[in-house]
Amino acid sequence: MDINTITEIVTGLDEASLAGWREGDAFLGGGTWLYSEPQPSLRRLFDLDAFGWTPLELTPDALVVAATCKIQELYDFVPPADWRSGGLIRQCCDALLGSFKIWNMASVGGNMCLALPAGPMTSLAAALDATCVIRMREGGERRMAAAEFVTGDRRNALAPGDLLRAIELPVADLRARSAFRQASLTARGRSAALLIGLLDDAGRFALTVTASTKRPVRLAFDAAPDAAGLKDRIDAAIPDALYHDDIHGRPDWRKMLTCRLAEEIRTELAG
């Protein structure tokens, strides 16, 4: 919808532009969320496309995904043959409520910054123990674990004016084995629970719970736990109040799903 309060689109951005950030400004990624709700407090949009960031860059250690990378561009990335978890990329894209038409516009970073519990790019990044690269308003860069980036329903670790620059997906984790489970109240609907398990060649196991919780919960184990061990860790790490409650699923149901899907993942990877 029209955002009628916008008076200026700031294009031609550079490093210095962030310093000029003020109340009423917002970063424009794909626009798929910004333009989907009334935004009466906004006055200026910073057009991130103006940076011209390379959407995807494969380094020896990481797949570096620019925050402005379209979900379609990520989806189209062909993972090297030895990435046993390369399929997670498409599974997470498919988990987006929006259709492939939204993928043509929505950005990976935008999905994470929106910080919905069900944001599948957050699921992907958190599960792969990715690193978020953040450009700070006052200058300079900081890095943080992607699993820590979303801090609650519609809350993230960015300070006003901070900008998510990139997400680095570690190649090592993409080479590990993984299992993916997603559940929703409706077919192809918004995720009520999205869990990803990772098992590396050293036998280390990690379970990442998203969508069912207000923020990602990544549980790392030195070795794959047994059923009771996994359940105990989940219960200890996720108090009832951390389960998300909205129209996409009641928290008690999400808790049940979480435990159930976690056990399915454990069984699949243990087998």
Partner 1 sequence: MSFEINGQSFDASPRPGQCLRTFLRQLGWFGVKKGCDAGDCGACTVHVDGRPVHSCIYPAFRAQGRAVTTIEGLAKDGELTPVQQSFVDAQGFQCGFCTAGAVMTVSCLTPAQLADLPGALKGNLCRCTAYRAIEDAVRGVTHAEAPAAGEAAGRNVAAPASRRIVTGSEPFTFDLEMEGVLHMKLARSPHAHARIVAIDASDALQVAGVRLVLTHEDAPTTRSSTGLHELDADDPPDTRLLDDVVRFVGQRVAAVVADSEAAAEEGCRRLKIDYQILPAVFDADAASAPEAPILHDHPEASGSRAPKSNILAEVRGRIGDADAGFAEADAVVEGVFHSHRIQHAHLETHGSLAWLDAEGRLNVRTSSQVPFLARRRLAFVLGLPAEDIRVVCARVGGGFGGKQEMLTEDVTALAALKLGRPVKLEFSREEQFVGATTRHPMRVRAKLGATADGRLTAIEMEVLSNTGAYGNHGPGVFFHGCNESVALYRCANKRIDGRVVYTNVVPAGAFRGYGLSQTNFAIESAMDELALKLRISPYEFRRINAIRPGDAMVAFDDHPHDVEYGSYGLDQCLDLAEAAMARDREAPTDLSDEWLVGEGMAVGMLDTIPPRGHYANAEARLTADGGYEISIGTAEFGNGSTTVHAQLAAAALNTTPDRINIVQSDTDRAGYDTGAFGSTGTVVAGKAAHLAAIALKEAMLAAARGLAGPGENAFELVGDGMRIGDAFLSLPAFAAAVGPLSGAGATNGSPRSVAFNVQAFRVSVHRATGAIRILRSVHAADAGTVINPMQCRGQVEGGVAQAIGAALYEHVDVADDGSVTTRAFRSYHIPSFADAPRTEVLFAETSDALGPLGAKSMSESPFNPVAAALANAVRAATGVRFDTLLLAADRIYDRLPKDIASAP
Q: Which residues bind partner 1 (CB under 8 A)?
A: 1-9, 28, 31-38, 40, 42, 45, 47, 49, 94, 97-102, 104-105, 183, 185-190, 192, 246-247, 249-250, 252-254, 256-257, 260
Nearer to partner 1, 202 or 247 (CB): 247
Cβ proximity to partner 1, 40 vs 239, nearer residue:
40
The DSSP line for 30-47 is S-TTGGGS--TT--EEEE
CB of 243 to partner 1, least distance (A): 11
CB atoms within 10 A of CB 141: 11
Question: How far is Cα 254 from Cα 9, in angstroms, rounded to an integer?
Answer: 41
From the CB of 258, what's the least distance to partner 1, in Å? 12
Q: Cα separation of 172 and 61, whole Å?
A: 7
Question: How is residue 111 written in tokens?
Answer: 């999905």
**Cβ proximity to partner 1, 48 vs 147, nearer residue:** 48
In angstroms and rounded to an integer, the radius of gyration of the C-alpha atoms of the chain is 18
Closer of 35 and 221 to partner 1 (Cβ): 35
Choose between 59 and 186: whose C-beta lies nearer to partner 1: 186
Least CB distance to partner 1 at residue 153 (A):
13
Q: Measured between alpha carbons, how far is 8 from 25 in angstroms, rounded to an integer? A: 10
Residue 207's nearest CA partner among 154, 149, 252, 261 is: 261
C-beta atoms surrounding 60 within 10 Å:
5
Closer residue to partner 1 in complex, CB, 37/240: 37
Minimum distance from residue 175 beta carbon to partner 1 (Å): 26
Closest distance between partner 1 and the C-beta of residue 247, in Å? 5
Decide whether 57 or 246 has the Cβ nearer to partner 1: 246
Task: Return the closest-CA partner of residue 72 out of 55, 60, 58, 86.
Answer: 55
Q: How far is the CB of 124 from partner 1 (least distance, A)?
A: 18
Q: Tell me which residue of 219, 225, 221, 226 sits closest to 242, measured CA to CA.
A: 219
Chain centre to alpha carbon of residue 225: 25
Distance of alpha carbon 247 from alpha carbon 194, whole angstroms: 16
Tokens of 90: 């498409």
User: Which residues lie closer than 8 Å to 115 by C-beta, 6 or more apart?
Assistant: 122, 149, 150, 151, 152, 153, 154, 155, 156
Closest approach of partner 1 to the CB of residue 138, in Å? 27
Q: How far is the CB of 105 from partner 1 (least distance, A)?
A: 6
Whichever of 76 and 200 has its CB closer to partner 1, that residue is 76
